[in-house]
Amino acid sequence: MQASHQPPPMPAEQPQRFSSRERTVNDFSIQVATVNGSGSQTANLVLMRSIFQMGVPVSGKNLFPSNIQGLPTWFTIRASRHGYIARKKEIDFLVAMNPESAREDVLNLPAGAAVLYDEPLQLASLRSDLHFYAAPFDKLVAPACPEAKLRKLVRNMIYVGILAELLGIDSEEIRKALYKQFGERKKKAADLNWGAVQAGIEYARSSLVKSDPCFVERMDQNAGKLVIEGNTAAALGCMFAGVTVCTWYPITPSSSLAEALIAYMERFRRDPETGKATFAIVQAEDELASIGMAVGAGWAGARAMTCTSGPGISLMSEFVGLAYFAEIPVVLIDVQRVGPSTGLPTRTAQGDTLKNAVLSHGDTRHPILFPSSPEECFSMAVEAFDLAEQFQTPVFVNMDLDLGMNYWMSDPLPYPEKPMNRGKVLTAEDLERLGGFARYRDVDGDAVPYRTLPGTPHPKAAYFTRGTGHTETAAYSEKPEDWSANLDRIARKFQTLRAHLPPPVQSLAPGAKIGIVSAGTSRYAMEESRDQLSRDAGLEASWMRLTAYPFPPELEAFIEQHERVYVIDQNRDAQLLGLMRLDLPARLLEKLRSVRYYGGLPLDARTVTEQILAQEAQQA
Amino acid sequence: MSSTPATPPKVNRIGLDLLPYRGSKTTLCAGCGHNAITERLIEAYWELGIEPWTVAKLSGIGCSSKTPAYFLQQAHGFNGVHGRAPTTATGALLANHTLRAVVVSGDGDTASIGMGHFVHMLRRNVPLVYIVENNGVYGLTKGQFSATADLGAKLKTGATNPLHAVDLCLLGIELGATFVARSFSGDKRQLSAILKAAIAHKGLAVIDVISPCVTFNDHEGSTKSYAYMKDHDEPLHEVDFIPSFADVEVEYEEGESRLVELYDGSKLLLHKLERDYDPSNRIHALEVLHEAARRGEVLTGIIYLDTSRPSFTEILNLCDEPLALLAEDRVRPSRETLELINEEFR
Ligand SMILES: Cc1ncc(C[n+]2csc(CCOP(=O)(O)OP(=O)(O)O)c2C)c(N)n1
Ligand code: SF4
Ligand SMILES: [Mg+2]
């Protein structure tokens, strides 16, 4: 349907439900298709924020290419009065600004969707079952932005204005979002952009006739909430955890975590008067160096971390084994992306589950935390440092690109209530009192030994750290019994640690025959899929969201309670399920089923629902 | 003037005998150059009267990298990953910049697998003493050529090295080390003075020590053998180290010797041999190294010295206390700060 100055005649093939002008309120996805590097991010965030400010649950996902400039990029905003913020497969409203992708984007839309497009693209003739709105962006931007060289930057704000008018977003909320986005210091730029928004609103009022069903109406779901990226929340978690050394090497999608950390630490952890810092952040020469520095720092007593993605983790393998065996605390935040190799560097996956649990050669096992939201990115970063120091071992935090680089509504980040746990570190006074210590002896029966830090001013403080076989007193040993006794103690330490991990989150459906287990961002598809299963198929499912590895004792009970348990994986080979196979008693294994998605996009509910229903149908 | 007293007193200036400066018994081959370097390190730390527990010893993997277990038993040691001691040492110094770090590495450890880290440690001028115990072969894996083996050098098996050698001193000068020296494990006097000067130096001190492997590379045709060094060692100068605490009037003849003051107030006296050599001239330093290599000579001594450049931990402008020891209220911002940040995202 071509929007024009006159209301167009309704085509005969227009789907019935739209001709009845049914309103779809606060339940749709908007996709903005632009060219990478064209500066559309600000416009998209303003649009998303304004809906958020209207009290409507939203999420914002960037689907971008591995390219700096020129390739197509999409930003999807989902508004959901039900609070569903997973990716939704179907797009309800497309903003087509990119000549290159426009045709295909339009052809992929479901019938009844709406399209706002740049007039010269002439898309309206492609399909007759869509609502088309054309806007001459170049013409509109000229009066709004007299300075020609700035036009490219503000042009995108015009679609924000048009959408505001078509969807019924309060223009005051747009204005607020826009000025917040630009901040105090860029008021002039904000004014210019606000002019462009108004030009869009004006154009929509005078020249477009609303024919699609999507509307935004005020709700009250977002009071007190934030909009934040997971990487920013994780960086803040590290700062409030008291991190002192961070070493890193740039890699998408973890770079923005390190960069956010730098910005906040410069702001809050450097003395404004003396310029002296209570931290060191070093961009290393590669990931071998970043983990090596972090391990060296952890050894010498710093709260040390590195953040990276799959390729970096692969390089860190040898050092992580050393830190495990030599019992050195270090935190590794893995913002996972699609691999192997360079893979799809700007797409999301949970492909490092298995690798991180057993990284390195020989007998190793590493704890992993699985945050699913910005609040958890924050709180689990704090927990990771406590765990690492308390148990003198590498601790992984498995995020993913979806969580790290996309925009999430979040409860306020919670201030850490527990004091820092620095673990069993002996001081010179302790050594004086004790008359010495044995580095690898289990004194307390919890398998966690005591350590001293280099520089401790006492003749009995020193011990020799090595990756080779050692005795309780850290002396070199090749004796078989020394070797296995030490490994057994470290294994017991792993069991002690299990009781200190965050508990899983369970939602038991009364009488449910099936259960679902997920970790990390699969949460959002799960929340929606459970409702779909119940609503569409009358199938009730219990759900356990794992927050950590090693698996909690509750997991076994959960599997016992259900006939079949579906394990959600965002990887091809069912790694979470594979890890469960390694660790759980054999009698539980035959109950496990796999649901997998590995296309690189954030997991959507339909995919989960369909896979579960298909397997349930076979069961019947 | 020698810095090694003829009959060492029983205790050093902080009242310690040699025992805390020793380590466990060496497990290297008898006659291995590395053992001699270990002995010089023990003496150097003892003579300087450094509290052993202020030192952190780090290494990679190799026969050479084992040696931190054999000195300073009252200092923490970390025998880590092959080639990667520059990273663990850098990390340890970030955690505690008051540590006196010493890294012992091998030519395989540094010039091959760890080359990337070595180069970046140079760029950063990480404040530590970096010793390469250079024998031209991989000792621990039984005698393969390393990247510092000279063109035409022969293995015991008769195999000839067809590739040019990496010169670690050239690299060090080129890429930012502020103290670059070469020595020979068999030259007790020179090595001892150089080690003490390196320990007193404020930035990165790289010392390439030719250290013959008696088991795999001490034969005819080797350019890293005792015999070869006897014939080809060409000292740039005679080195004397005068510690800051030594209560002596330093006397020297202008034109015959050069006096260099180090960061901690100790002094270096470089006595002229064939020529008057100025170690602060970078271009000249590169030149003499290239020349010596062309002549097939092994130039030893303090080749380059820059006492002014800031070290990595200075560049980072860390607070005075070690980061590792900061209390919670120094590293966890307040509740109000988090509330302020939360508000920025609303
Ligand atoms: C990742 C890795 N690759 C290979 C080895 C095997 N390796 C042990 S020592 C060594 C070479 C040591 O040579 P160098 O550094 O010259 O020391 P040297 O024994 O000659 O003193 C090698 C290759 C290892 N330990 N780790
Ligand atoms: S093999 Fe060579 S380098 Fe290793 S200990 Fe023996 S002599 Fe020394
Ligand atoms: Mg060697």
SS (H, E, C) A391-405: HCCEEEEEEEHHHHH
Same domain, B146 and B254: no
Same domain, A195 and A65: yes
pLDDT tops 60 at residue A340: yes
Same domain, B133 and B193: yes
pLDDT tops 70 at residue A5: no
Whether residue A417 lies inside any domain: the answer is no
Same domain, A196 and A59: yes
3-state SS of chain B is: CCCCCCCCCCCCCCCCCCHHHECCCCCCCCCCHHHHHHHHHHHHHHHHCCCHHHEEEEECCCHHHHHHHHECCCCEEEECCCCCHHHHHHHHHHHCCCCEEEEEEEHHHHHHHCHHHHHHHHHHCCCEEEEEEECCEECCCCCEECCCCCCCCECCCCCECCCCCCCHHHHHHHHCCCEEEEEECCCHHHHHHHHHHHHHCCCCEEEEEECCCCCCCCCCCCCCCHHHHHHHEEECEEEEEECCCCCCCCCCCECCEEEEECCCCCEEEEEECCCCCCCCCHHHHHHHHHHHHHHCCEEEEEEEECCCCCCHHHHCCECCCCHHHCCHHHHCCCHHHHHHHHHHCC
Domain span at residue A455 reads 428-498
Same domain, A105 and A208: yes
Q: Which helix (H) or strand (E) holds A337?
A: strand A330-338
Best mutation site among B26, B38, B61 for ligand 1 pocket (most ligand atoms within 8 Å of CB)? B61
Q: E strands within A187-272?
A: 214-215, 226-229, 245-248
- Model confidence pLDDT, tens digit, residues B217-247: 999 999 999 999 999 999 999 999 999 999 8
Whether residue A272 lies inside any domain: the answer is yes
Ligand 1 atom with the shortest distance to the CA of B107: 16
B66: which chain A residues are within 8 Å (Cβ-Cβ)? none
Same domain, A50 and A172: yes
What is the C-alpha to C-alpha distance for residues A308 and A253, in angstroms, rounded to an integer?
A: 8
Contact (Cβ atoms closer than 8 angstroms) between residue B58 and residue B88: yes
Same domain, B102 and B122: yes
Q: What is the CATH number of the domain that holds A161?
A: 3.40.920.10
Chain B neighbours among A 210-269 (CB < 8 Å)? 224-228, 236, 239-245, 247, 264, 268-269
Domain boundary among A410, A443, A468: A410
Whether residue B326 lies inside any domain: the answer is no
Ligand 2 atom with the shortest distance to the CA of B142: 1
Same domain, A171 and A232: no
Same domain, B101 and B39: yes
- Model confidence pLDDT, tens digit, residues B192-215: 999 999 999 999 999 999 999 999
Same domain, B84 and B122: yes
- Model confidence pLDDT, tens digit, residues A494-552: 999 999 999 999 999 999 999 999 999 999 999 999 999 999 999 999 999 999 999 99
Whether residue B342 lies inside any domain: the answer is no
pLDDT on residue A184: 85
Domain span at residue B259 reads 246-275
pLDDT on residue B275: 85
What DSSP designation does A20 have? T
pLDDT on residue A70: 83
pLDDT tops 80 at residue A198: yes
Same domain, A448 and A469: yes
Residue range A355-384: mean pLDDT, rounded: 98
Same domain, B115 and B260: no
Q: What is the ipTM of this complex?
A: 0.96
Domain boundary among A478, A498, A518: A498
Q: What is the CATH number of the domain that holds B59?
A: 3.40.50.970
Mean pLDDT of chain A: 95
How far, in Å, is the centroid of ligand 3 from the Cα of B148? 9
pLDDT tops 60 at residue A7: no
Residue B121 in contact with ligand 2 by CB distance below 6 A: no
Residue B254 — pLDDT band, cuts 50, 70, 90? confident
Same domain, B123 and B270: no
Same domain, B147 and B82: yes
B265 touches chain A (CB under 8 A): no
Residue range A337-363: mean pLDDT, rounded: 97
The domain tally of chain B equals 2
pLDDT on residue B4: 55
C-beta neighbour count of B239 within 10 angstroms: 25
Whether residue A347 lies inside any domain: the answer is yes
pLDDT on residue B343: 96
Same domain, A485 and A539: no
What is the C-alpha to C-alpha distance for residues A398 and A371, in angstroms, rounded to an integer?
A: 7
pLDDT on residue B249: 85
Best mutation site among B133, B140, B166, B216 for ligand 1 pocket (most ligand atoms within 8 Å of CB)? B140
Query: Tokens 């009071």 label which residue?
Result: A223
pLDDT on residue A17: 41
Tokens representing residue A404 in the block: 């790290």
Residue range A466-479: mean pLDDT, rounded: 97
- Model confidence pLDDT, tens digit, residues B305-334: 999 999 999 999 999 999 999 999 999 999
Beta strand A27-35 pairing with A93-96: parallel
Whether residue B3 lies inside any domain: the answer is no
- Model confidence pLDDT, tens digit, residues B272-293: 998 889 999 999 999 999 999 9
pLDDT on residue A19: 43
Same domain, B270 and B281: no
Same domain, B172 and B97: yes
Residue A69 — pLDDT band, cuts 50, 70, 90? confident
Tokens representing residue B16 in the block: 């310690």
pLDDT on residue A8: 42
pLDDT tops 70 at residue A53: yes
B175 touches chain A (CB under 8 A): no
Same domain, A322 and A238: yes
- Model confidence pLDDT, tens digit, residues B63-81: 999 999 999 999 999 999 9
Residue B63 in contact with ligand 2 by CB distance below 6 A: yes
The domain tally of chain A equals 4
What DSSP designation does A56 have? -
Angstrom CA distances, A391 to A438, A461, B80, B95, stand at 16, 20, 20, 19
What is the C-alpha to C-alpha distance for residues A175 and A190, in angstroms, rounded to an integer?
A: 9
Same domain, B254 and B134: no
pLDDT tops 50 at residue A620: yes
Whether residue A363 lies inside any domain: the answer is yes
Whether residue A419 lies inside any domain: the answer is no
- Model confidence pLDDT, tens digit, residues B6-63: 565 599 999 999 999 999 999 999 999 999 999 999 999 999 999 999 999 999 999 9
Same domain, B145 and B266: no
pLDDT tops 70 at residue B162: yes
Same domain, A129 and A242: no
Same domain, A509 and A493: no
Same domain, A320 and A339: yes
Chain B neighbours among A 313-342 (CB < 8 Å)? 318-319, 322
Whether residue A221 lies inside any domain: the answer is no
pLDDT on residue A233: 98
Whether residue A6 lies inside any domain: the answer is no
Query: Tokens 């961070």 label which residue?
Result: A246
The CA-CA-CA angle for residues A244, A250, A254, to 5°, reads: 75
How far, in Å, is the centroid of ligand 3 from the Cα of B185? 13
